[in-house]
Structure 1
């Protein structure tokens, strides 16, 4: 249903309860400024979305009667986390108190309320349903995790993927692995050669920002990788294994291990696809992985312009030209190439 105006602003009482303030329409933030969000850019909060209280912050709304912007003084501001397959248009707009705590690195999309429904300014950009919340039965995930932990008792990666990723952080890919379907994540590197400002797995000790998840703390062996990926490729529907996950550093730093694993995997099965999610920093390594049997690559970037890329990624011993070359190499080998485009809403 298309709205005729923006939804009403939300606020939290600090005790886990969220209310609407019908005297204010919600606004959205782009950069440092609050804006009225066009009515046709609101959608119902998708299944799997969450709401956050933003302590020490007052939401900015538009007065229903006067049309003027003002703060919602009834409680703390509220934002939404929109689930995978969606992109938000605007961040939550608020004013921050001097003593407000630093927020962790989550997605804080604007959120409002109208006619008994939550709304967010967003759109679905990916039709694939593989990570839709409705597709997960937590009991079956728990059972699948228990099965894998029992059958691979000495595999550190399986333990990490189940106990850390699937059961603690509810990673969609790890949960799919527990369910024996589609994509199986394969984190491989505890180190990284970029210093991304918004790294979600590791922040410097001196930073007040808290990373959203714990990074892999060990270097897996080729044997550990092969042990569980071959059965997955053999038995899962539409199987794919993906090196390079949010819970690790840069997988190309472990390219020798990955190459050895790919070679061994392909000795046992030709099924499925082998993918790597990477910053694309080591073209020579990408070349070797393609020779070993890599099928696809997804390179992360926040811009197609070097002057925007470099200050955010702050790379060590590689340059923007390297990521372009990595994509070209996979293309030359006939593989599938894509980019993981980091978007700042607004």
Structure 2
């Protein structure tokens, strides 16, 4: 790359252009900054570009080297597909009264040599959510087949009608293609009030959730009926409790425990995983004793002072999520954190030091470096952060963590049992 990509702008009518008088910048915390040329990659397949209404992109003047606004149109950001982690947010200045952006990630983007570029890295080689791998006819056939096979199963119907056909959930689509990770939502209720919740937003809020939440409590029998065949027949099989279309699965731990016990009577194949906020260590212990293999705890930060104003927990505290990770580690299970990456917060010195402490304290096995789906300004304002502190860069932080903890795995998806027990770099969907 002989120079940085040019900034992009939208005309408000669905058309995107480059402005060759400005180089694209990235955002870290509240600040716009240059992006190193070696941090740009081509926009991966499955990526999309977003117009950011009522926002002007911030670029670097090609002639003067000074930062200024692109006044030609609205700012543009990229959605980068799963398996990739963004290194910088799109840099822009909002006009007064600009509406809150919906719950997606907003990675910086630019144009160079007739191609779109983003500052990102591929953090995961597993292909389970690559757009080219989804075959619509096969998915349609799978939906028809499974609805016929389980005509009275409300959960299978929910996965078909709500998750697969309405929201095109990658996990649900994979299930109906008979492969890999099978989603198992169980809880219509939650014990947190996350600012960026994707399945429930209060009516008075300025945004809406991106999907509808599960409205019933499935029985253990409903869970067992379709998960056992999946574990027996699918490649790299996983069943995962805790999905984006529900509340907190640990509130349904008794049902999940009953299901796990019965599943393991029928098959010892595959991995049984829970995606959770980790709020109830005693429930996690009960699930481990029943046969839970892995846990993924979601968090926007490993610092209580940043975690709490975002999650707004009911009847649990930050330390409970640390204890839950410890519990699973004690039982020999696989532990991951679903780490919401926000450049300028995630890579702050304070966060880096806190992460090092958590890794040591919990015996953490994996970090899933997930892009944070949230309006950047809205998020920082909601949690009351004015100064994000000194930062080291997302890429640099990853390198430092890798160097200090060589056995800690990086990725984007829950690993199968084959990957956990075998070669982590080979034994996965590809």
Verify the 8 A CA contact 1:8 1:20 in the aligned structure 2. Answer: yes
The question of whether the paired residues in 2 share the 8 Å contact of 1:88 and 1:109 is answered with: yes
1:345 CA drift (Å): 2.1
- Deviation, structure 1 residue 295: 0.9
- Which residue of 137, 146, 150 maps to 2:135? 137
1:256-288 per-residue CA deviation (whole Å, 9 max, x = no partner) reads 111111112112222111000111111111111
In structure 2, the partner of 1:76 is 74
SS at match of 2:302: coil
Q: Would you say 1:316 and 2:304 are equivalent positions?
A: no
The one-character-per-residue Cα deviations of 1:211-248 (angstroms, maximum 9, x if unpaired) are: 22221111111111111111111110111100011111
Q: Choose 319-328 or 110-119, whichever is displaced more.
A: 319-328
Counterpart of 1:166? 164
Which of 330, 333, 336 aligns to 2:331? It is: 333
Q: TM-score, normalised by structure 1?
A: 0.96
Is 1:103 aligned to 2:67, yes or no? no
Structure 2 counterparts to residues 1-346 of structure 1, below 5 A: 3-346=1-344
| Alpha-carbon displacement from aligned partner over 1:284-312 (angstroms, at most 9, x marks no partner) | 11111111111111111222222222222
Cα drift, residue 134 of structure 1: 2.3
Displacement after TM superposition at 1:198 (Å): 1.6
> What is the SS of the residue equivalent to 2:25?
strand
Consecutive unaligned residues of structure 1, counting only runs of 5 or more, are: none
Aligned equivalents of 1:31, 1:212: Cα separation in 2? 24
Residue 12 of structure 2 aligns to a residue in which SS?
coil
> CA separation in 2, counterparts of 1:38 and 1:211?
35
Shifted more, 146-155 versus 19-28: the winner is 146-155
* TM-score, normalised by the number of residues in structure 2: 0.78
